[in-house]
Amino acid sequence: MTAQTTRVDARPVAPVPKRTRRPRRKYDRTWTPWLYLAPAIVVLGGLLLYPIYQLGLISFFQYTQAQVSGGRPATFEGFANYREIFSDPKFWQVLLATVVFAAACVVSTLSVGCALAVLLTRVRALPRLALMLAALGAWATPAVTGSTVWLLLFDPDFGPVNRMLGLGDHSWTYGRLSAFFLVLLEVVWCSFPFVMVTVYAGIRAVPAEVLEAAALDGASQLRIWRSVLAPMLRPILVVVTIQSVIWDFKVFTQIYVMTNGGGIAGQNLTLNVYAYQQAFASSQYSLGSAIGIVMLLILLAVTLVYLRLLRRQGEEL
Residue 169 lies in a domain: yes
Q: Which of 286, 241, 276, 219 minimizes the C-alpha distance to 76?
A: 286
Model pLDDT for residues 179-190, shown as the tens digit of each residue: 999 999 999 999
With cut-offs at 50, 70 and 90, classify the pLDDT of residue 134.
Answer: very high
Residue 205 lies in a domain: yes
* Section 3-20 average pLDDT: 53
- For residue 292, pLDDT over 90 is answered with yes
Residue 236 lies in a domain: yes
State the pLDDT at residue 12: 56
* Section 70-91 average pLDDT: 88
* Section 239-266 average pLDDT: 90
- For residue 95, pLDDT over 90 is answered with yes
Residue 292 lies in a domain: no
Q: What are the beta bridge partners of residue 258? A: none
* Section 236-241 average pLDDT: 88
Distance (Å) of CA 277 to CA 63, 109, 119, 281: 15, 28, 42, 5
Give me the CATH number covering residue 215. 1.10.3720.10
- Domain extent at residue 189: 100-268
State the pLDDT at residue 14: 54
Mean pLDDT of the chain: 85
Cα atoms in the Cβ-side hemisphere of radius 13 Å centred on 168: 2
**DSSP label of 5:** -
- Indicate the range of 2-11, 12-21, 54-63 predicted with least confidence: 2-11
- Dist. CA 188–CA 106, nearest whole Å: 8
With cut-offs at 50, 70 and 90, classify the pLDDT of residue 230.
Answer: confident
State the pLDDT at residue 314: 60
State the pLDDT at residue 2: 47
Model pLDDT for residues 96-111, shown as the tens digit of each residue: 999 999 999 999 999 9
State the pLDDT at residue 20: 55
Range 302-307, long-range pairs (CB < 8 A, 24+ positions)? 302/245, 302/249, 303/242, 303/245, 303/246, 306/238, 306/241, 306/242, 306/245, 307/238, 307/242
State the pLDDT at residue 82: 94
CB 250 within 8 A of CB 232: no
Cα end-to-end span (Å), the chain: 91
Residue 214 lies in a domain: yes
- Dist. CA 143–CA 283, nearest whole Å: 26
CB 38 within 8 A of CB 26: no
Element holding 76 (H helix, E strand)? strand 75-76
Cα atoms in the Cβ-side hemisphere of radius 13 Å centred on 44: 5
Element holding 62 (H helix, E strand)? strand 61-62
- Indicate the range of 70-84, 108-122, 267-281 predicted with least confidence: 70-84
CB 144 within 8 A of CB 152: no
> How many structural domains are present in the chain?
1
Residue 167 lies in a domain: yes
Residue 315 lies in a domain: no
pTM of the model: 0.82
Residue 297 lies in a domain: no
State the pLDDT at residue 24: 54
Model pLDDT for residues 37-51, shown as the tens digit of each residue: 889 888 888 888 888
